[in-house]
Amino acid sequence: GLKLGIYADLGTFTCGGYPGTTLDLVHQDAQTFAEWGVDMLKLDGCYSSAEEQAKGYPEMARALNATGRPIVYSCSWPAYQGGLPPKVNYTVLAEFCNLWRNYGDIQDSWSSVLNILDWFFNNQDVLQPAAGPGHWNDPDMLIIGNFGLSYEQSRSQMALWTVMAAPLLMSTDLRSISPSAKEILQNPLMIQINQDPLGIQGRRIVKEKSQIEVFLRPLSQGASALVFFSRRTDMPFRYSTSLARLHFPEGAVYQVQDVYSGQIISGLKTGDSFSVVVNPSGVVMWYLYPTALPAQ
């Protein structure tokens, strides 16, 4: 039941120096991948020009569709054009690609995770509207279970990628993965939130002087995911706020579930003050479900 993904490159060579898929080979390669039963294609952009990319990425989309086989199509196109308009047209991207790499490759380090996070949320006004069912921003792989992240940082990457509506691609040796990494990656509520049918990408809504940041992702049926994230490196921080301060509708009442601990808070009103304790480089993630909505 596993799916098969394959990597190719729209240039004379792949980034690793193997033969590339030049423009004259796009249709032949698409046909070959379909015959092999490939389910996903990642098409990189090393050793290709901007002109070749502008022709080749849409051409490969047409070629894959022509095979009649559903193949998820991951483009690296925007990453080679700096990731932002006017060089990148996200409307065009969404027409041809299912997901796309906007930015540089992730490395197995916390500083790399923060660098990607900053770029995505500093540019959220451009990137957030581009995402939706069938066309996603891809901040690159989860490095949970490798070597670079602590336990808290692993939980943070999972929560922040989920709130970003990121495709969840693991990059871990499953023969030696630790039970704690496995638990993070297989958290059922986390996956449910990530796969929410509305497919709305979340936004950073608060950036405090205390180095606490708050992210919000709207979900189907009036639910939401909130992530309280600490950039502090000293000690756990008690952060106090209310849903009213986070722009939730007045007069609503929510049931809250902590995504990691499973703890439930019932009857949280928009105006109620509450506190969360966030560990250094860690998160507290909430799933909020309305039990009473404000009178319209």
Catalytic residue check, 140: no
**DSSP annotation string for 58-108:** HHHHHHHHHTTS--EEEE-HHHHTTSSTTT--HHHHHHH-SEEE-SPPP-S
Per-residue DSSP letter, 220:
G
Ordered alpha helix ranges (H), the chain: 26-35, 50-66, 77-80, 90-96, 110-122, 124-127, 151-163, 179-185, 188-194
Chain-centre distance for alpha carbon 118 = 13
Contact criterion met (CB below 8 Å) for 239 and 278 = yes
What region, left, alpha or beta, does residue 267 occupy, with left being phi > 0 and alpha being psi -120 to 50 degrees? left
Catalytic residue check, 258: no
Residue with tokens 């992702």: 217
d(CA 192, CA 214): 20
Looking at 9, 44, 138, 196, which residue is catalytic?
44
Looking at 105, 108, 118, 272, which residue is catalytic?
105
**Which of 215, 163, 150, 152 shows the shortest CA–CA distance to 189?**
163
Which are the catalytic amino acids?
A: 44, 105
